[in-house]
Amino acid sequence: MLNNQTAQKLRTMRLPVMAAEFERQLDSPAMDTLSFDERMGMIVDAEWLSKEGNRIQKLTKAANLRFSGTCFADIDYRPSRKLDRAHIARLSDFEWAKAARNIILTGATGTGKTWMACAFGAEACRLGHSVYFYRVSRLLGDMAQASATGTIYKLLAKIRKCHILVLDDWGLTTLTPLESRFLLEIFEERYGEGATIISAQLPVSKWHDLFEDSTVADAVLDRIIHNSHRIELHGPSLRPAADKDLGEGAPDGA
């Protein structure tokens, strides 16, 4: 009876996994050979692992990554890609994110930029960082709508709070003065506070030409480029032929 009350109290305190492990041990005669410290450690570990898994799952879902199942272990280091394994290894500790630095991924279409950006995002979630993924065109559209409805500051606050902002498909179109100001607002808010990962087909040397307003271009790029790590992807497209024929995206980094 006392054990049943203990398990029920654990559930009442919202510790269901701990309660389940406690009951499992009661039903297992082999547990009698273990010390109290060992059994208690197993009970606490079960609850901790469950909560940690739920936290990672929540962060990953909120990140809205295009490819959420990516990880560094699946990176393709074939010679044609010219990826520096040591460079990726150094970035895997995410000290750059803690220091609010950026990562810029460039390369031709199909070389794995989006996949790589999502790999960094997914690994960041596993380490407890909050991440948010946005295609640049979608972000600018949402900001225009938010500006029209008076909710722009709410959207900016959401973007500012995430540890790592992932911006995919940067530089596909020329930026209007209004769009340029939207981006300036984002990077002004995040400068020194949060990290950003940008994937782009266009080389960094041509980014200034994307902006119709050169003054705003200087301000935005100054907040992006000078504190960034750069990774350039090479080689042929990694997308399956069927996906290319259909014009569809595909996990193209592994």
Q: Which residues of 5-35 are buried (b: 16+ CB within 10 A; e: fewer)?
A: eebeebeeeebebbbbbbeebeeeeeeeeee
Tell me: do 222 and 235 sit in the same domain: yes
Position 60 pLDDT exceeds 50: yes
Q: Which of the four pLDDT bands, split at 50, 70 and 90, describes residue 238? A: confident
Question: What local confidence, expressed as pLDDT, does residue 14 receive?
Answer: 87
Q: What is the mean pLDDT of the chain?
A: 89
Reported pTM: 0.80
Q: Establish if 219 belongs to a structural domain.
A: yes
Q: Which of the four pLDDT bands, split at 50, 70 and 90, describes residue 3? A: confident
**CATH classification at residue 80:** 3.40.50.300
Tell me: do 55 and 102 sit in the same domain: no
Q: Establish if 251 belongs to a structural domain.
A: no
Tell me: do 207 and 106 sit in the same domain: yes
Q: Which of the four pLDDT bands, split at 50, 70 and 90, describes residue 250? A: very low
Q: Establish if 91 belongs to a structural domain.
A: yes
What the block records as the tokens of 135 is: 């295609």
Q: Establish if 37 belongs to a structural domain.
A: yes
Instruction: Give the residue from 28, 60, 92 where a domain finishes.
Output: 60
Work out the percent of the chain whose per-residue pLDDT is above 70.
93
Position 243 pLDDT exceeds 60: no
Tell me: do 128 and 185 sit in the same domain: yes
**Using CA of residue 78, residue 82, residue 83, residue 86, what is the dihedral sign?**
positive
Tell me: do 155 and 55 sit in the same domain: no
> What is the per-residue pLDDT across 173-188, written as a single tens digit (0 to 9) for each?
999 999 999 999 999 9
DSSP 1-23: -HHHHHHHHHHHTT-HHHHHHHH
Tell me: do 112 and 13 sit in the same domain: no
Q: Which of the four pLDDT bands, split at 50, 70 and 90, describes residue 29? A: confident
Tell me: do 106 and 203 sit in the same domain: yes
The helix (H) or strand (E) run that includes residue 104 is: strand 102-107
Q: Which domain holds residue 90?
A: 65-246
Mean pLDDT of all residues in 149-170:
93
Q: Establish if 133 belongs to a structural domain.
A: yes
Instruction: Give the residue from 13, 44, 60 where a domain finishes.
Output: 60
Q: Establish if 252 belongs to a structural domain.
A: no
> What is the per-residue pLDDT across 186-226, written as a single tens digit (0 to 9) for each?
999 899 899 999 999 999 999 999 999 899 999 999 999 98
> Strand pairing of 164-170 and 195-200?
parallel
Q: Establish if 157 belongs to a structural domain.
A: yes
The structural domain count of the chain equals 2
Tell me: do 7 and 117 sit in the same domain: no
